[in-house]
Structure 1
Amino acid sequence: MTSSPRQPHHSLALRTLTTLVSVDPMATAILATVSEQFKNLFFFDWKPRKTRKTVRFADTCGRELCEIRVAAESSDCPPTLDPSVLERYRTDGSEEEHKFVWIPSFPQPAADFTRFLRTLLQNKVALENVVVNGTDVLGTVKVANMESEAENGEKSVFVRYTTNGWASYLDKSAVENARVRNTSTFDFEIPGDGEQVEFCICFKTNDGEYWDSNKGNNYILNRMEM
């Protein structure tokens, strides 16, 4: 005689409570509460089994722990280098040529602000400062905004300079970069060649030309070897 499979105790208990519901509807609430309790009783400690992870090194499996590869190129084929690498070692001799600095023979005009303003009011144009950048000479100039400018707005500033003691000279235009109600600022750049650079500044308007020549002495920078 074959016996029927044995039912779990909690299944039998739940089936018994379910039968009670058909007898007494009041047992519905009891069934809900007891069912939750049975579930907590029989299933609270059940967790899925975790697979254990292991780590194996290649040499324990009969393989090489490291692999060495040698890249070779033919002897008549030069290696290919990134251009940025070559740029680090490229030289055109300019570093050797630029081993000198320009030394101004005058103080920075704007350092004495009272004197600077006096020059600007009297001459309508004044050198503000000078900066040496490599072999080039950079500077800024302040000019007074004239009443006649309001009508036509025409004005220009240029630097007249020489590197051979005025045996010859060149005029280099300055560029306006700022303007306020009473003044405008111009930038200029002139190349530094020879042993000495000498320059003066001209402010040109429809009313005429105004010069700042450092009271007739001009602005002079002397070359000093490093």
Structure 2
Amino acid sequence: MSADNCGIDEDQCTPKPCKAGQNPAETNHERNDINSFDDIDPKKAEETARKLFGHSTKYLLPEHAERGKTHQRSKSLKEVGEKPPPSPTRRKSVRFADALGLELTDVKVITNAERELPPEIPAQVLQSLRRSHEELTEATKQFIEKHRYLTPLFNQPGSAREFLGKVFTQAVCLESAVVSDMTILGTIRVRNLHFEKKVGVRWTYNDWKLCFDAPTEYVHGSSDGTTDKFSFTITAPNNMEVGGKVELCVRFEIPGNTFWDNNQGHNYVFECFSQGYSTLSTSPDDSLWRFT
């Protein structure tokens, strides 16, 4: 029997798939009842979707879908108060003037002295500088006067090859003389001619207008059997004139005889020098700043 003969619609004869446990007639009935989205009850939309599609996917009407749609904020939009990311900084570079062929100094030449005069130094500043210079000059003079020293004008006799020969020939000879400022520290070597000996130094600092005798002391352990050593100390005046000279000679006495060592008639001479600042200016104008 064909479908045309029985008077039944062909669509109604086509079986519709259904899930297990589901009544096909019931499903077809519900589907036939829904002709458009307007036939769906919004309150039963989820239940209807479950019956139509066989799962719990939520079925929304167009207006409900539009109403329940959630909008995600664009990532490009910034929250209120949020600081924008720092812009990439430009790398800085330093170039020097000489590398660019430029001059390193800027020289200004004053061509019109009447219109462009150098800055004037206040009078009180000049006065203060002059007063400071005068005080410095006076202090320097005192420093020079207090710091004088002697320098021997002869070679040390004890370093000479013929020294011992002179001791045996003269019986007495100055061996060494070192200076510390205005003080002379010396030693004398004498021939051991007698147990009783008297050794002294005669000296002057004003060309023998005045002369002084300085005592000596025996240096313990200095005897070698044929000679003995004595030491002495002489201090010249601190205010001695610069360029002045200290002269001395040595005397050796034994019972019945006296021997002298006067450097073969020239005496042993020490000259007085002063310590000062050769670069010190004597003009107060040199202590001022110069403006050009």
- TM-score of the pair, normalised by structure 2: 0.42
CA contact (8 A) 2:144 2:274 kept: no
Distance 2:272 2:171 in 1: 30
Shift of 1:118: 2.1
Q: Greater strand percent: which structure?
A: 1
Tell whether the 8 Å contact from 1:98 to 1:135 is kept in structure 2 after alignment.
no
Q: Quote how far apart the aligned CAs of 1:100 are.
A: 2.0
Amino acid of the structure 2 residue aligned with 1:140: T
Secondary structure class of the residue paired with 2:252: strand
**Residue in structure 1 matched with residue 251 of structure 2 by the alignment:** 202
> 2:245, 2:269 within 8 Å by CA — same for their partners in 1?
yes
Q: 2:162 aligns to what SS in structure 1?
A: helix
SS at match of 1:180: coil
TM-superposed deviation, 1:95: 6.8
Instruction: Give the CA deviation at 1:196.
Output: 1.4
Identity %: 31
Which of 252, 260, 265 aligns to 1:216? It is 265
Aligned to 1:104: 152
Q: Which amino acid aligns with 2:147?
A: K
Q: Which ranges of structure 2 fall in alignment gaps of 5 or more residues? A: 1-141, 276-292
- The structure 1 segments of at least 4 consecutive aligned residues displaced by more than 4 Å after TM superposition are 94-97
Summarize deviations over 1:57-81 as a string: whole Å, max 9, x none.
Answer: xxxxxxxxxxxxxxxxxxxxxxxxx
What is the alpha-carbon root mean square deviation over aligned residues?
Answer: 1.9
2:165 & 2:158 partners in 1: Cα distance?
Answer: 11
Shift of 1:180: 2.4
Report the structure number with the largest CA radius of gyration. 2
Structure 1 residue matching 2:164: 3-state secondary structure: helix
Structure 1: tracts of 5 or more residues without a match: 1-93
Using CA pairs under 8 Å that are at least 6 residues apart, name the structure with larger relative contact order, 1 or 2: 1
Q: Distance in 2 between matches of 1:105 and 1:166?
A: 18
- Corresponding residue to 2:216 among 156, 169, 174: 174
Count of residue pairs the alignment pairs up: 128
Task: Identify the residue that residue 167 of structure 2 maps to in structure 1.
Answer: 120
* Deviation for aligned residue 1:179: 2.1
Change over 3 Å in CA distance of 1:187–1:164 after alignment to 2? same
CA shift, 1:96, in A, is: 5.9
- Cα shift readout 1:23-79 (whole Å, capped 9, x = no counterpart): xxxxxxxxxxxxxxxxxxxxxxxxxxxxxxxxxxxxxxxxxxxxxxxxxxxxxxxxx
SS at match of 1:179: coil
TM-score, normalising length from structure 1? 0.53
Aligned to 1:84: none
